[in-house]
Amino acid sequence: MRSKIYKGLIREVSKHICILTLIFLTLYPFSFLVVSSLKSHEDIIHNMVGLPQVIRWINYIVAWKKVNIYILNSIMMSGATVGMVIFLASYTGFIFARHKFPGREFLFYAIIALLMIPRELTLIPLFIIVRDLGLLNSRWGCIIPWTSGGLVFGIFIMRTFMASLPEEIFESARLDGANETQLYLKIALPLSVPIVIAVGIMHFVNTWNDIIWPLVTITREELKPVTIGLMSFQAIDPYAQNYGPLFAGYLLTSIPLIILFMFTMKYYIRGLLAGAIKM
């Protein structure tokens, strides 16, 4: 009996040790980032691993002046595309899931086929199209292609989820005289909130992190989102880099995502689970 408890304790402790090691390895680079963001440039270069000789809060102020535009742009662009994707994907998925109409299967498989087309194949013609539409160097030049990309996965997910909802709910509502739009708005949508949030978060994060597309379409400084904005922040004066404010800038651009995750993690996990539970 005692050895069993003993064994159990060892197991638990070793689990914790393993996890803590992994967590330490995961977080150490970022703690380095935090510590370095409070140093002056020379302090970083001469004293890379140690604690700041002088704590420089001013780095954050200087960085903020530079990166607030980028953060604003990213929020606007990613927010817009997520809104569009959620709107379009949810009702499209609903239609595909719960209605019969000619060509439904064909159209749906056509959408799935798009999943297999890699981003890089379409990159060049997409660039030409966006250029010819005059959307280069504009936020919409990013938002619309992003939306079309997110729609594919989004419709796929929403359709699968909505198809799995029990028919009875809809039947009873139809009997009560509800029309299709009401079925969508009052039943399907509320039930799929966790999924919608999960899809929304994934799309938000993917577009927030997109490097290549903004890189080739946006060159005007005031429109740059976080990803390429930070690259140009670093390159402001290649002969006179200033890593302190640069690192502070990196951390500042993480804040929106931190906030997003803090508020939505619960729903996101629920969304991931919701799919699985429907076994």
Q: Which of 142, 149, 197, 200 binds other proteins (CB under 8 A)?
A: 149
Asked whether the beta carbons of 132 and 70 are under 8 A apart, the reply is no
Q: How far is the CB of 220 from other proteins (least distance, A)?
A: 10
Q: Which of 9, 10, 12, 109 binds other proteins (CB under 8 A)?
A: 12
Residue 41 makes contact with other proteins by CB under 8 A: yes
Q: How far is the CB of 163 from other proteins (least distance, A)?
A: 6
As a whole number of angstroms, the distance between CA 143 and CA 159 comes to 23
Q: Which of 51, 129, 169, 185 binds other proteins (CB under 8 A)?
A: 129
Q: How far is the CB of 240 from other proteins (least distance, A)?
A: 7
Q: Which of 77, 80, 195, 197 binds other proteins (CB under 8 A)?
A: 195
Residues 200-229 binding other proteins (CB under 8 A) are 202, 205-206, 208-209, 211-212, 216, 221, 226-228
Q: Which of 2, 4, 5, 166 binds other proteins (CB under 8 A)?
A: 166
Residue 250 makes contact with other proteins by CB under 8 A: yes
Q: How far is the CB of 176 from other proteins (least distance, A)?
A: 21
Residues 64-123 binding other proteins (CB under 8 A) are 88-89, 91-92, 95, 97-102, 104-105, 107, 111, 114, 116-123
Q: Which of 9, 13, 55, 61 binds other proteins (CB under 8 A)?
A: 61
Residue 160 makes contact with other proteins by CB under 8 A: yes
Q: Which is nearer to other proteins, 186 or 278 (CB)?
A: 278
The pair of structure tokens assigned to 187 is: 């039943």
DSSP string, the chain: -HHHHHHHHHHHHHHHHHHHHHHHHHHHHHHHHHHHTTS-HHHHHHSSSS--SS--THHHHHHHHHHHHHHHHHHHHHHHHHHHHHHHHHHHHHHHHH---TTHHHHHHHHHHHHTS-HHHHHHHHHHHHHHTT-TTSSHHHHHHHHHHHHHHHHHHHHHHHHTS-HHHHHHHHHTT--HHHIIIIIIHHHTHHHHHHHHHHHHHHHHT--HHHHHH---GGG--HHHHHHHHHTS-TTS--HHHHHHHHHHHHHHHHHHHHHHHHHHHHHHHHHHHT-
Residue 2 makes contact with other proteins by CB under 8 A: no
Q: How far is the CB of 23 from other proteins (least distance, A)?
A: 5
